[in-house]
Chain A
Amino acid sequence: MAPTASLFEYVASKLDEPPLTPEELEFMAEHEKVTIVPNFTLNLPNSMLTCIEGTYGPFRPNIPVEVPMYLALALNRRNKCRIQPPAWMAREKLKAVLDEERTIPQYFQPVPQYYVETAKMLFAEARAIFGTNAEVNEIMDLVEELKKVRNSKILDGLRKVSGPITVKLNNLSASESNKIRLLFENSLNMWHQLAKNNKEWQEIQMTGTMDTPATL
């Protein structure tokens, strides 16, 4: 039996909202590494940049270097570097993943954990890195298609869920899991609660004593 709600609960509990907002997901996505080609030399010993989590570099003209996305975008805004498109965003690779996604309905294809956020950031700030306008549009369409196909797969799977089960969802990206989080988790919670109530009811039936409804 759940404890009676205390006054502290009323004061301190929050409404149901997703634990991680989409903005925070984008913040985490900015830590993903991309390769850039700088056009400057960094004014530090060995041209290495020391950050709290490690060092990046060396930053020398025309030598590719791996940096986190936020750094790459900041440098790109000041025209200090050229961002190279990530390997998974090549047109052929995207087409292959899309085909696999369509042909195999039970599994999800491996995608980068933050592919939605990464794609959005790159298209917003660094469209030119993909080539001409036509090529950029093509890649944007491919990513949209991928999102749609995965989305419909998720919804199909959700429709099949009918009880308090554990589900294995490999290769689900962060934003997709955030989208279905509230619905999925709360439905499962409700199912678990109903199953528990069912069990208690059955146990009481078997022992033969019927407690008054007020204590159930």
Chain B
Amino acid sequence: MADVLGSLGYTQDLPDDLSELDDFQLLSNALRNERNTQDILEYKHDLVERVQRRLQEQADRVDTWKEAGKNQYDEVDMSLPILCSTLNVNRFRFLLKAYWRARLQKIERFATLILDKQELQRNCSPQELAHCLQYFVAVGKCMKEVVLARLPEEFQTLVQESQLTETRDMIPAPRLDRCVFIKLLKDAGHVAVDAEGTQLVDMKAGDVYIIQYALVQRLVQQDIAVLI
């Protein structure tokens, strides 16, 4: 394996704490994973619910402080807690929205594939599935009216190139063989780095590689590594 840029076994002096990640880091890891690959990843139900719940608690707390500030006559200056909490809330709202937006973009792009495959549907949340169906129906209808109805009979399908081909070959699928930057959060043991599975590399926590996504898909799904 070409060790062009890399080191072997060089320990980091300034470790980012790789084991104890707080919610912000977990959510930003999830966002980076979604952005860096076309694969439909598992929806982080627990994380998102926990963050939403705490967001609500924090927002309520800020509201009570603001009310207290208006009603009381004595000077209890809550401006600093209000400021800090509002900053915090805004940052998390941005992260959540970016996460959802990244997922929705991918789901819209591969809507036909998702509606076809069960295991991809398992990776989406119920709201995302509903959106996927509605999107497919709406865009499909638009395509049919604008373009397909004016084509000859055999070419009027959305998912096949023509009625003459047997398989549905016009369904876009995510490209899993594109290269990604990956960072290991935990030791991952030996991982094959080429398609035949001949060359193995011992991956340690804290390593950064650029590698085809398909070879490390399992690591990302199990949260052993994050795409940066």
Chain A residues with CB under 8 Å of chain B are 3-9, 11-14, 19-20, 24, 27-28, 30-31, 40, 42-44, 49-54, 70-71, 74-75, 80, 88, 106-108, 110-113, 153-154, 157, 160-161, 165-172, 174, 177, 181, 184-185, 188-189, 192
Contact B83 A168 (CB under 8 A): no
A-facing residues in B1-35 (Cβ within 8 Å): 1-8, 10-14, 16, 22-25, 28, 32, 35
Rounded to whole angstroms, the CA-CA distance of A3 and B3 in the bound complex is: 35
A-facing residues in B115-141 (Cβ within 8 Å): 139
State how many angstroms separate the Cβ of B72 from the closest Cβ of chain A. Answer: 13
State how many angstroms separate the Cβ of A11 from the closest Cβ of chain B. Answer: 6
Chain A residues within 8 Å of B36, by CB: 19
Contact B208 A171 (CB under 8 A): yes
Chain B residues within 8 Å of A11, by CB: 139
Contact B159 A6 (CB under 8 A): yes
Rounded to whole angstroms, the CA-CA distance of A198 and B98 in the bound complex is: 40
Rounded to whole angstroms, the CA-CA distance of A44 and B180 in the bound complex is: 45
Given A43-B80, A51-B84, A169-B6, A6 and B208 touching (CB < 8 A)? no
Contact A3 B173 (CB under 8 A): yes
Contact A171 B10 (CB under 8 A): yes
Rounded to whole angstroms, the CA-CA distance of A174 and B25 in the bound complex is: 14
Contact A6 B2 (CB under 8 A): no
**What's the A-B contact tally at a CB cutoff of 8 Å?**
187
Given A6-B112, A11-B139, A170-B207, A52 and B88 touching (CB < 8 A)? yes
Contact B13 A110 (CB under 8 A): yes
| Among candidates A7, A14, A170, residue contacting B206 with C-beta atoms closer than 8 Å | A170
B77 close to A (CB within 8 Å): yes
Chain A residues within 8 Å of B181, by CB: 169, 177, 181, 185
State how many angstroms separate the Cβ of B198 from the closest Cβ of chain A. Answer: 12
With A43-B76, A52-B55 already in contact, 6 other A-B pairs whose C-beta atoms are closer than 8 Å: A3-B173, A5-B170, A5-B172, A111-B14, A166-B209, A169-B181
Chain B residues within 8 Å of A111, by CB: 14
Chain A residues within 8 Å of B201, by CB: 166, 168
Chain A residues within 8 Å of B88, by CB: 51-52, 71
B149 close to A (CB within 8 Å): no
B220 close to A (CB within 8 Å): no
Contact B81 A49 (CB under 8 A): yes
Contact A4 B4 (CB under 8 A): no
Rounded to whole angstroms, the CA-CA distance of A31 and B143 in the bound complex is: 45
Given A43-B81, A74-B83, A177-B181, A6 and B172 touching (CB < 8 A)? yes
State how many angstroms separate the Cβ of A81 from the closest Cβ of chain B. Answer: 11
| Among candidates A7, A112, A168, A189, residue contacting B143 with C-beta atoms closer than 8 Å | A7
Chain B residues within 8 Å of A40, by CB: 80
Contact B80 A157 (CB under 8 A): no
Contact A161 B2 (CB under 8 A): yes
B41 close to A (CB within 8 Å): no
| Among candidates A6, A28, A165, A167, residue contacting B171 with C-beta atoms closer than 8 Å | A6
Rounded to whole angstroms, the CA-CA distance of A167 and B7 in the bound complex is: 10
> Can you name the residue of chain A whose Cβ is closest to the Cβ of B58?
A52
Contact B208 A53 (CB under 8 A): no
Contact A177 B212 (CB under 8 A): no
Chain A residues within 8 Å of B101, by CB: none
B224 close to A (CB within 8 Å): no
Contact B55 A184 (CB under 8 A): no
Given A14-B105, A53-B23, A70-B87, A170 and B80 touching (CB < 8 A)? no
State how many angstroms separate the Cβ of B200 from the closest Cβ of chain A. Answer: 11
Rounded to whole angstroms, the CA-CA distance of A160 and B4 in the bound complex is: 7
Contact A167 B209 (CB under 8 A): yes
Chain A residues within 8 Å of B94, by CB: 27
| Among candidates B10, B147, B171, B177, residue contacting A3 with C-beta atoms closer than 8 Å | B171
State how many angstroms separate the Cβ of A102 from the closest Cβ of chain B. Answer: 16
> Can you name the residue of chain B whose Cβ is closest to the Cβ of A7?
B143
